[in-house]
Structure 1
Amino acid sequence: MTDFPPLKNDLLLRAARGEETERAPVWVMRQAGRYLPEFREVRKSHEFFEVCRTPALATEVTVQPIRRYSGLLDASIIFSDILVVPQALGMEVQMKEGTGPHFPDPLVTPADIEKLSKVVNIQKELGYVFDAITMTRHALKGEVPLIGFCGAPWTLFAYMIEGGGSKTLQKAKSWLFKYPEESKQLLIRIADVCVDFLVGQVKAGAQVIRFLKLPFILGPHLEIQLLQIFDSWAGELAPHHFLEFSFPTLQHISTGVRQKLAVEGVPIVPMTLFAKGANHALPLLAQKSGYDTLGIDWCVDPAEARRLVGDKVALQGNLDPNLLYGGRDAIEREVKRMSEAFKGGKAPKAWIANLGHGITPGVDPEDLRWFFECVHKYSAAK
């Protein structure tokens, strides 16, 4: 166990446990990224995956937004990429400037599954992420919690078959329809790697700080980072296909992580699921997915999302990222509207302010600062 600095800001942890907080904690997806000039400076001399694989570099870029927005951000998220899981399975992934991820040798037919590693040594393949997490916990000096993450199996599956990003996901969907059983087996195989990866992240960031009064944990609690699962392409599936192919793997991850942590004597970690575009599934996800927080995109009203999920989970979201280009009056107006929508309705009103997807590269960092300041102002409990 590593002796980390005491945590000074537990706002996000309390919200993720369903507590109504004095204001909404706030962070944004991709907050360590290309919109920051200091990040671009690092990238001038280091390839993308080199940054991911070098703990000192990953730590530096993870801490950059915390340093710039000190006192305004309530969480950091480790700098990595969802595609390190396909890499751990033995696939080559390149990050091409201007075009994004590229798989030189994608999976074409189920026979290609034989190319994947049958056994994945998580420590060997992804230990650099764990080292970065441990290093980052020290670098944060307890200012905010650290979030670990991975991609959801369906999203990773799609990348592995498409060979990169896709507007139609024609190849990946064809697999589901032509080879449904083989697809399900591959999805669960990816999910198993995700479970081990997430458990490793938790163990890398474990810290004994103090006793927390949690009804589901007895004795000393290890104050540890949260986990988020990104199902970025969930909304590309029809509701019945989401239920058949994606949902079981999301359940598999939440159950598997909790079971493995329990066996190893590590306390429960708050887990967030962001299934972008799958707003049709919010009631199901709240009732049966096993996640503490559900992220929502900008295509559902927060009050409606709260009505759909009831009092089962905390909510996270959901400003349209493009509003950050709309000027400060628009940002303030929409943050006020969003805050009122999240705070309305039935208790509990636990929510975490965020964007409805990741921040994009052209955003002015000072406009993002204004977003944070508006959240502080308008999300405060009356």
Structure 2
Amino acid sequence: MIERLMRPYFHIPFVLLVGACSSYGSSTPRDCSQGLSYDGPSILENAELRFPTGRFGSTGTIPAATVQRLDLAFENALEMLPTETVDAAVLRLDGSRYLRTAGDPSTARDLHYWASAGKLFTALGILVLEEEGRLSLNDPISNYLSGIPDGELITLEMLLNHTSGLFSANEDAQVRASNKLMTLEDEIAVLQRHGNLFCPGTNWRYSNSGYALLAEVIEQVSGQSYHSFVDGQVIAKTQAERLRVMAAGERPENVVALSQANGDVREVINHFGGAGSVIGDAESMAAFVAGVFEGSVVSETTLNRMTQQLYPMFHSASDPSQPTRYNGLGTMVYVAISQSPPSYLMGHSGGLDGASSFVGWSARHQAVVVVALTGAGSADLIASRLAPALE
């Protein structure tokens, strides 16, 4: 067992998506044992999700009529949202692309922070290491870190799909009130103080802390910093040119500041670790997502595993029994229940006070759609308007 507890780690001063997610489990179990099975809300297994039918091209052109529909969809969405800046991209399988921005980011600050969409990158880092035979998703986190509640029962797979039962440290009142850079020891102390919310593997609850621990696993197994490994072994396998993971504690000078609800403008400082540390422009993010789902980063077999078992996150307001978003291994699946049969998008969302993001692949439209924004509003909403405009 390797212990690395005293170096500066990360601090999550805002909620990264978790606030609106389904929240299952509320008591601290006293007696968890191996062999317990999942008994939460019904999962979606073996959904008919389709990946790109080949590699993305580079020479396609979006028809003028489609561009007009995309423009109208983008502008109508913005009328509903009090955003400050928006960066959006659509990349179709034939290589044709649609790029739109809004607001007035300076030429010196033209990149956006992608919040919890960065969890997709962390998950891919773990899966790359698994494909190389350097770890197993069945490994308990106790193989890498000591002091994690029920760590001998929590597998890396449970951390990836949020079934570990771990508390999410950013929800701790003391953590949220603090501006200090936490150490890994601090993080583990918060997890110990709150205890697990349910026995590992028996339920689902979004945990930023789980992804913080996964970043530490990447560092231990690879021998590199988290950001160096993901930049070199995940992002570099795609055509993304202006996309990277921030170093721990970094304050990048070329990223649009967060415009918060109280009117404050806050610089992006990387306190987020494996829970979401990616910055870039929408065009590069679209190229990255295209590379992921065409199989440039991990194999199609691994991509299928990422969505083989899907846990419900959000439900329809009109039909609370109907899930509209699921969570797999570092990826989210969005269900358009208004369509028959329902269509699916695969990707990840992110959100915190002052920023929102969405990245996804739509098999129905054979296209990648990505959106990052600052200010108030939902990147998901803009993406949900852009995708149908491709029809």
Query: If the TM-score is normalised by the length of the shorter chain, which range does it land in?
Result: under 0.3
Q: Which has the higher strand share?
A: 2
User: Which protein has the bigger helix share?
Assistant: 1
TM-score (norm 1): 0.27
